[in-house]
Amino acid sequence: MRALRITTLAAAAALTLAACGGGSDGGDDTAAPSTSESPAAFADGTRMKELADAGKITVGTKFDQPLFGLKGLSGEPEGFDVEVAQLIAAKLGIPEDGIEYVETVSSNREPFLEQKQVDIVVATYTINDKRDEVVDFAGPYFVAGQDILVKADNPEGIEGPDGLAGKTVCSVSGSTPAGNIQQNYPEAKLVLFDTYTKCRDALRDGTDGVVAVTTDNVILSGYVSESPDDFELVGKTFRDEPYGIGLPEGQEEFCQFINEVLQEADEDGTLQKAFDDTAGKFIESELELPEPRGCDS
Ligand code: GLU
């Protein structure tokens, strides 16, 4: 049993990462929220009513990020983000088989929402002003922090972003951590792929001279959970990444509804259970739901 502590800068508080035989406790039951409670009656003309009447919702999420959104043998993605999407669907009265998951990578989340290819995006999606110009965000529901993944025993001795100077670090196009490196750590050599698994593989194989991967601590933790002998986290976060639920612009009521769903799930413990049943198998965290940022477009 190895234990590694990772800390976030804000609401997610201290996360304890404990790797033990791959991080699985053998149970694979997830916190599938019940749809047995009758959904609230929604007013005509609202997005909630449209979705509830259709009995279907299309959710953009990640398919290659263990702990938050990973499509495995079940054929459906699993993880904390998937659970959050299920909580929202359940409150709309939509059964689990009414949820269609579409893979979103970091760079296509705004376009997929703008083109209405998906109804919501729950995909380790950081709220920021630039994105907010073209999409809306409910939440935040979690605060991650940017961190660095290195090979086990940290052969390059990288202790933080300044230690990336002159070294090759991998991240993903259209992600906020990649933008942070470009803007604030220009001496790092940045290699960009479209998904984090490609970065993980490049780190493992040393492709293109990659000696580190940077993105949110919880994503990197997912790769450590799968290969604890190969990788480790530097474990010092250097920027907040507050996760929101992306919506097409102008759906203020739906945004407010989602914030109420999150609030309720926080109060009745469903959100914590959703975390504990997924990411919490590897990352211990007492969630504290951050203050909602408001839904004014
Ligand atoms: N949270 C960051 C972002 O939204 C990084 C994770 C990701 O790329 O999904 O850009």
Q: Would you say residue 114 has pLDDT above 80?
A: yes
Low-confidence winner among 13-22, 108-117, 165-174 (lowest mean pLDDT): 13-22
pLDDT (mean) for 123-127:
98
Rounded to the nearest angstrom, the distance between the alpha carbon of 49 and the centre of ligand 1 is: 30
Indicate whether 231 pLDDT > 80.
yes
Q: Is the CB of 149 under 6 A from ligand 1?
A: no
* Ligand 1 centroid – CA 243 distance (Å): 8
The DSSP letter of residue 81 is H
125 in contact with ligand 1, CB cutoff 6 A:
yes
The pLDDT-based confidence of 5 (bands split at 50, 70, 90) is very low
217 within ligand 1 shell (Cβ under 6 A): no
Q: Quick one: tokens of 82?
A: 């998937």
Lowest pLDDT segment from 26-30, 104-108, 272-276: 26-30
Q: What is the pLDDT of residue 40?
A: 65
Banded pLDDT at 39 (limits 50, 70, 90):
low
This prediction has a pTM of: 0.89
Binned at pLDDT 50, 70 and 90, residue 82 comes out as very high
Q: Which pLDDT belongs to residue 9? A: 32
Residue ranges of domains in the chain, CATH in brackets: 4-143+242-285 (3.40.190.10), 145-233 (3.40.190.10)
20 pLDDT above the threshold of 70: no
* CB-neighbour burial class of residue 254 (10 A; exposed 0-12, middle 13-18, buried 19+): buried
Evaluate: CB of 215 within 6 angstroms of ligand 1. Answer: yes
What distance in angstroms lies between residue 240's CA and the mean position of ligand 1's atoms? Answer: 11
Among 31-45, 234-248, 260-274, whose mean pLDDT is lowest? 31-45
Q: Is the pLDDT of residue 295 over 90?
A: yes
Does any ligand 1 atom lie closer than 6 A to the CB of residue 177? yes
From CA 99, how far away is CA 86, in angstroms rounded? 8
Is there a contact between 100 and 77 (Cβ–Cβ < 8 Å)?
A: no
Read off the pLDDT of each residue in 192-208 and give the average, rounded to a whole number.
Answer: 98
Q: Measured in angstroms, how far is the CA atom of residue 54 from the centroid of ligand 1?
A: 30
Burial of 248: CB neighbours in 10 Å, binned 0-12, 13-18, 19+: buried
Q: Check whether 107 has a pLDDT greater than 50.
A: yes
CA 237 to ligand 1 centroid distance, Å = 14
Please tell me the predicted confidence (pLDDT) of residue 66. Answer: 97
pLDDT score of 56 more than 90: yes
Residues 64, 7, 222, CA angle at the centre, nearest 5°? 15
- Does the beta carbon of 81 sit less than 6 angstroms from any atom of ligand 1? no
- 106 C-beta closer than 6 A to ligand 1: yes
Q: Across residues 264-284, what is the average pLDDT?
A: 97
Whether the predicted pLDDT of 29 surpasses 60: no
Q: Which residue has the tokens 């990649």?
A: 178
Ligand 1 atom closest to the CA of 125, numbered from 1: 4
pLDDT at position 296? 82
At residue 274, does pLDDT exceed 90?
yes
CB atoms within 10 A of CB 268: 10
**How many residues in total does the chain contain?**
297
Tell me the mean pLDDT in the region 12-26: 38
Predicted local distance difference test score (pLDDT) of residue 38: 57
Is residue 269 scored above 60 in pLDDT? Answer: yes
Q: Which residues of 33-70 are buried (b: 16+ CB within 10 A; e: fewer)?
A: bebeeeeeebeeeebbeebbeeebbbbbbbbbbbbbbb
The answer to whether the beta carbons of residues 102 and 124 sit under 8 Å apart is no
pLDDT score for 36? 45
What integer best gives the mean pLDDT of the chain?
89
- Token pair recorded at residue 7: 């800390």
**152, 153, 213 from 230: Cα distances, Å:** 5, 9, 13
Name which residue sits closest to atom 6 of ligand 1, judged by CA: 124
